[in-house]
Amino acid sequence: MSRDTIVAIATAAGGGAVGIVRVSGPAARFIMQEVCGKALAARHATHLPFLDGRGNPIDDGLAIFFPGPNSYTGEDVLELHGHGGIGVLSAILNRCLLLQLNATGRPAGRIRLAEPGEFTRRAFLNDKLDLAQAEAVADLINAGSERAAQSALASLRGVFSRAVEGLQQQLIDLRVRVEACLDFPEEDLEFIAREGVAQRLLEIQASLKETLLAAQQGAALRDGLRVVLVGAPNVGKSSLLNALSGQEVALVTEIAGTTRDRIVQEIVLQGLVIHVVDTAGLRQTEDAVEQLGIARTWQEVEQAQALLLLRDASGEIAIDRELERRVLERVPPMCQVIEVNNKTDLLPTKRPVPPLSSETNTAVRGSVMISSKTGQGLDQLRAMLIEIAGLSEQPAVGVFSARTRHLQALLQAQADLLAAETHLHQEQLELLAECLGRAQGHLAEITGEFSADDLLGEIFGSFCIGK
Ligand SMILES: Nc1nc2c(ncn2[C@@H]2O[C@H](COP(=O)(O)OP(=O)(O)O)[C@@H](O)[C@H]2O)c(=O)[nH]1
Ligand SMILES: [Mg+2]
């Protein structure tokens, strides 16, 4: 544990009515004495002048002292609420930092500027928050919609952590039984049956699925969904972007190769921010500018969270299966693909709709018939996007914010449990025990029980100074 005392301006840069300088660490009490000129009652706001080294006022404000461990960081914390201008706040900050030079009465350890996220990091290290909650602090501050803020607050209040701890508890319970029966190999199968191992495993899988669903929703609300429109020229990608956004964002012409650069437009569906990316149509071309655009299309394919593979359902533009296969090969593993068959308004009504769905591919989630011109099928497409973001169901555990890191850990735990199920059916009990242990390890990563220093550095390093 660091013996340094950290100081930072905790409020956003720029002029505000009020700004806060926050101090945490062993010298907080000493700084309180020097700057406030007296000892303050714990957790009470006191109106007083903040003093410089000669006893002259720097600002008038409110000071609050939180003795550890009942503080944000778990250490002694001093908050100085002054006027919110950068001049005033810098003066208060520098006054605190310069106390480093006062040797008399100052506890050991430096007084220095806080690193990004260091207050919250200390809160984590002092068990005030677990890692998922600490991440929720940043997510709450950065939340771009009310719904995203609500879910971040739920995580901060421990809804996510409790769901993960519940899963861990179920797993520990199961592991104890499986390990116990490993000690009595002669009666192991009987033991397994008596202890209801198969039933318990199913229950854990069901709880994990619920938690994953809620986490996916939280992650989608936090990050939005990047949806990339891809297809041959003239199938109607730009028309679809315009139809979805309700604006003439992209140029539409009957000339192939109209869209050369990617165009990103944000739309909001049921509180979910969707970044719709229109791209240059994929084809062989001699045009140097179009080639650059097509290279960008491939970059977008590789970053898509959802990909709309557009075709011309009227049959005027032939479907290039080979090209589609190449697209599917390059989408990232978690990306969901929808086959979008456009221009249904051109289909003769009497003729049955031609089967356009390509051969089964695990990445392809489904297909939809639409017309960008008449708007037919767009509601179904929107519903599919909401479903891809995982927002179509109401999770039993409630919504909470989550990050990709958490989703990966939950998905890995899910894979471990699936493998565990196989080992159970094949009566390979040692392998079963191993998979259960691994699943538990992945869950522990979420709350940060055994987190490596570099992961902590990455998480807290992305905070601003003062958090
Ligand atoms: N009839 C009909 N024409 C469409 C539809 N969508 C696009 N088009 C036409 O197809 C041509 C190419 O459209 P555009 O959106 O520029 O295709 P992109 O090259 O894939 O971006 C334009 O002339 C559009 O008016 C549709 O749903 N129905
Ligand atoms: Mg276009």
Q: Where are the domains of the chain?
A: 5-128, 146-220+398-448, 225-388
C-alpha of residue 102 to centroid of ligand 1, in Å:
73
CATH number for domain 146-220+398-448, candidates 3.65.10.10, 3.40.50.720, 1.20.120.430, 3.30.565.10: 1.20.120.430
CA distance 170 to 161: 14
In the chain (467 residues long), the average pLDDT of successive 10-residue segments reads 88 88 97 96 97 95 96 97 94 95 85 94 94 92 84 92 94 88 71 82 95 88 91 95 92 87 89 91 90 94 95 90 92 91 84 51 81 96 90 76 90 96 90 94 88 76 79
| Model pLDDT, residue 349 | 67
| Model pLDDT, residue 363 | 67
pTM value is: 0.73
CA-nearest residue, atom 7 of ligand 1: 236
C-alpha of residue 258 to centroid of ligand 2, in Å:
5
**Residue 235 Cβ contacting ligand 1 at under 6 Å:** yes
Strands 263-269 and 272-278: antiparallel
b/e map 56-66, b = 16+ CB within 10 Å: eebbebbbbbb
C-alpha of residue 240 to centroid of ligand 1, in Å:
8
Q: Tokens 């990563």: give the residue.
A: 445
Ligand 1 atom, smallest distance to 232 CA: 20
| Model pLDDT, residue 357 | 53
What φ, ψ does residue 270 adopt, rounded to 5°?
45, 45
C-alpha of residue 236 to centroid of ligand 2, in Å:
7
386: nearest Cα among 272, 233, 293, 226? 272
Q: Are 174 and 201 in contact (CB under 8 A)?
A: yes
**Nearest ligand by distance to the CA of 259:** 2
DSSP sequence for 397-431: T------HHHHHHHHHHHHHHHHHHHHHHTT-HHH
Amino acid in the structure at residue 270: Q
CA-nearest residue, atom 9 of ligand 1: 236
Beta bridge partners of 59: 50
CA distance 95 to 87: 12
| CATH architecture, domain 5-128 | 2-Layer Sandwich (3.30)
CA distance 266 to 276: 6
CA-nearest residue, atom 26 of ligand 1: 343
| CATH architecture, domain 225-388 | 3-Layer(aba) Sandwich (3.40)
Ligand 1 atom, smallest distance to 346 CA: 1
| Model pLDDT, residue 292 | 92
**Residue 377 Cβ contacting ligand 1 at under 6 Å:** no
C-alpha of residue 238 to centroid of ligand 2, in Å:
4
CA-CA-CA-CA torsion sign (27, 31, 32, 38): positive
